[in-house]
Structure 1
Amino acid sequence: MSQHLEKCARSLITCEKSNFMNEKSRHEMHVSRHSFNYKISFLIPECGVLPAEMEKVIRNISSYYLVRDFPVHKFLEEKWLETFVKRDGFYALSYKHRIDEDNVVAVLPRGQLILSLDKDTYEQLGLEGKPSLYNHRKVMRHVVTVNLTDETLVPGTKHYQKVLLCLKERVPYKCDFLLSSYNPGDKDVTICSLLSQYTYEKCSPTVCIRTLKNLLCPSLHPEDLQGKSLSCTTDQFLEWLGAVNLNICCDNSAADFLSTYVCPEPHLTVSKALLCTVTGLILPEDINRLLKELRHYFDEPKFTAWVSLTVHGFVDSPVSWGVAEHGFLKGGENFYNFVCFNNQDYWLHNAVGSKDACPP
């Protein structure tokens, strides 16, 4: 076997158990700290039709904008600062720029401007930053963080003029961006007026709903997070969940193929299961609304004892959770998964690759 194949890239999965009714539960905070999400999927065993309340949440997920060749320094203009950036709930992420090859930019909902820059761009820019945590022997990338809500960063101050000079004249960087805002009101009218001089399009998340028949499904028990006796292990469950999402057969026998996959034990066959997948720029606020609705699914007795919600982050986002730096080695993975039980217990799985800080 090749030496490179023997050494798999490090990945990390953390697991925790809590109850949604526990006053110390941090499920909402955890969701809100994972800013840039491109796909969510939820699986409901023993269900064939999307419940009306969940459908309402899915159909009302926030739209977003794809704007072409948008200059980064525009985020410093007073109309952008006051209307969106300084208000919680504004998100911006550079589009189709690779974190391991290109310059990547993001604006977080609390007003931080994050720039992950290659060596040449960083030296030309002139703003102070920190070496990337995931450099090799030589420092090849830097991360610059600008707090756009800082009291010293207002038009007319020296600090503001310096930052504006660097972003507008020294490195007049522009790229395609995905933009969205969760602030209520006439935000669409306002953002369209601010984007009027650029090429842009309004996008809605893509929704795919499938009903799976005779699905082999692991038996899970809320008290058995590590799969020591009654449930499969965390790795086995997440692997099975990925196979279901990718429509991979989970009932192969050992004689069928050289490579096979079988649903982990213990398992049972459910006559039907509903799988809903949403892709786009999906905001944490919308994910929290969906998670709340999934909890209410058990307000009335159901045949299944659990449902699952998986959230995938953008592989080329400069951050994963909060302001923790995100990198890319082979997969760029950063995702989390909730298993919600009918007694309001939940499991929370967090997964990152070798180019990420440990999940919170």
Structure 2
Amino acid sequence: MLQNVEKCSRHLLVCEKSNFSHSKSRHRKHVETHHYNYQVSILIPECRALSSAIAAVSRTLGDYYLVKQLPLHEMLEPEFINKFVRKGKLILSVDKDTYEELGLEGQPSKYSHKTTVRYNVTVDLGDATFVPGEKRYNRVMWALKEKKPLTFDFLMTWHPTGGEDATLASYFMKYQCKVYQPTVSTRMLNDTDCPVLLSNELKGKLNESCSAQEFLDWLGAVFNNIDCNNQADSFLSTYCCPWPSTVLQKACLCTISGFIIPEGINLLLDQLRLYFEEPKLAQWITMTVHGFADSPVSWGESEHGYHKGGENLYNFVLFSNQDYWLHMAVGTHSGCPP
């Protein structure tokens, strides 16, 4: 047998419960600080079609852009900052060689272990002193234009606040810039075993309801179209729906893929909260948001270890009484969820 088999990767999962009407509910803060999202999945039990209101929001989440071979320093030009950024930070996660060639101040990655192999460089674009002529600005631009020019393919999106006459496509006309829109797909589920949930029992209740963690495991199986009625001797999978369970005669799974910003996700969340204003057979619905695996951060500026694993996601379970559960998960080499 191998003597040095690598241990299983560490994963972090945080679960909390609250009510949307509670004055100290943090649901908006969690959404707003998870910036880089590529997929949203909505599961609605006892439903055969997405409601017109939810479908309308899913179709208006905004364009995103792929800009090919863009020099990084272009994003530090005053015109770009004034039109599209105003307040924000540029965060670079670079290897040791690139860091030393740049010559910019940074911090070692928290996950370098004994030998530092990666560094994080943060540039505050909204700082009043980060303007042409100031020492910090000149130093950063010199590093990125002359000392170590960096060029990447960028995936971008932008949320206009009103009154702007510019677009990312028009600004980057001299580069290869392609516009995309999020794609929406739906899948119908029939006769699906489903865990029983009680909104006030996050940890589950013996013989009455399942825990938040058991539900998230089941949800992952549903999203990946895994059969939850497996036998103990199954070659492929022995996973079964947690007990106690019930059967969903029908359910609608909607998946939205693209570059989806927090403002759009909050619109979806608000619309889902209205779902129970009219009587429904369903007692809950879910919305799962997946972050990009290669993002340098997860929530806020928390370092994300995209070079090993890359998982970062959150999931809302919305109950008919406006209670909610929130799961937040990251993989190996990532900061704890807030």
TM range (shorter): over 0.9
Name the aligned partner's letter for residue 46 of structure 1. E
Contact 1:319 1:326 in 2 (8 A): yes
Tell me the number of residue pairs that the alignment of Structure 1 and Structure 2 aligns.
337
Residues 206-234 of structure 1, C-alpha deviations (whole Å, 9 max, x = no match): 21111111111111110110113332223
Shift of residue 304 of structure 1?
0.8
Residues 226-260 of structure 1, C-alpha deviations (whole Å, 9 max, x = no match): 11333222332111101111111111233554632
Separation in structure 2 between the aligned mates of residue 2 and residue 274 of structure 1, nearest angstrom = 46
Contact 1:329 1:353 in 2 (8 A): no
Separation in structure 2 between the aligned mates of residue 3 and residue 287 of structure 1, nearest angstrom = 47
Contact 2:45 2:248 in 1 (8 A): yes
Corresponding residue for residue 199 of structure 1: 176
Stretch moving more, 69-78 or 258-267: 258-267
Q: Secondary structure at the match of 1:181?
A: coil
Separation in structure 1 between the aligned mates of residue 116 and residue 161 of structure 2, nearest angstrom = 43
Separation in structure 2 between the aligned mates of residue 296 and residue 2 of structure 1, nearest angstrom = 55
Contact 1:225 1:231 in 2 (8 A): no
Q: Secondary structure at the match of 1:159?
A: helix
Residues 54-87 of structure 1, C-alpha deviations (whole Å, 9 max, x = no match): 001000011100010011111111210110011x
Q: 1:308 aligns with which of 257, 279, 286?
A: 286
**What RMSD in Å do the two structures reach over aligned CA positions?**
1.7
Q: Compared with structure 1, are the counterparts of its residues 15 and 4 closer, same or farther at alpha carbon in structure 2 (3 Å cutoff)?
A: farther
Separation in structure 1 between the aligned mates of residue 266 and residue 5 of structure 2, nearest angstrom = 39
Q: Which segments of 5 or more consecutive residues in structure 2 lack a partner in the other structure?
A: none
Stretch moving more, 270-279 or 156-165: 156-165
Corresponding residue for residue 50 of structure 1: 50
TM-score normalized by the length of structure 1: 0.90
Separation in structure 2 between the aligned mates of residue 164 and residue 203 of structure 1, nearest angstrom = 30
Corresponding residue for residue 173 of structure 1: 150
Aligned-residue sequence identity (percent) comes to: 53
Contact 1:47 1:274 in 2 (8 A): yes
Name the aligned partner's letter for residue 190 of structure 1. T
Separation in structure 2 between the aligned mates of residue 205 and residue 338 of structure 1, nearest angstrom = 21
Name the aligned partner's letter for residue 108 of structure 2. P
Correspondence 1:265 to 2:243 = yes
Name the aligned partner's letter for residue 194 of structure 1. Y
Q: Compared with structure 1, are the counterparts of its residues 2 and 206 closer, same or farther at alpha carbon in structure 2 (3 Å cutoff)?
A: farther
Q: Which segments of 5 or more consecutive residues in structure 1 lack a partner in the other structure?
A: 87-109
Contact 1:181 1:187 in 2 (8 A): no
Separation in structure 2 between the aligned mates of residue 128 and residue 32 of structure 1, nearest angstrom = 28
Separation in structure 2 between the aligned mates of residue 296 and residue 7 of structure 1, nearest angstrom = 45
Corresponding residue for residue 83 of structure 2: 83
Shift of residue 161 of structure 1?
1.2
Shift of residue 349 of structure 1?
0.7
Q: Compared with structure 1, are the counterparts of its residues 164 and 264 closer, same or farther at alpha carbon in structure 2 (3 Å cutoff)?
A: same
TM-score normalized by the length of structure 2: 0.95
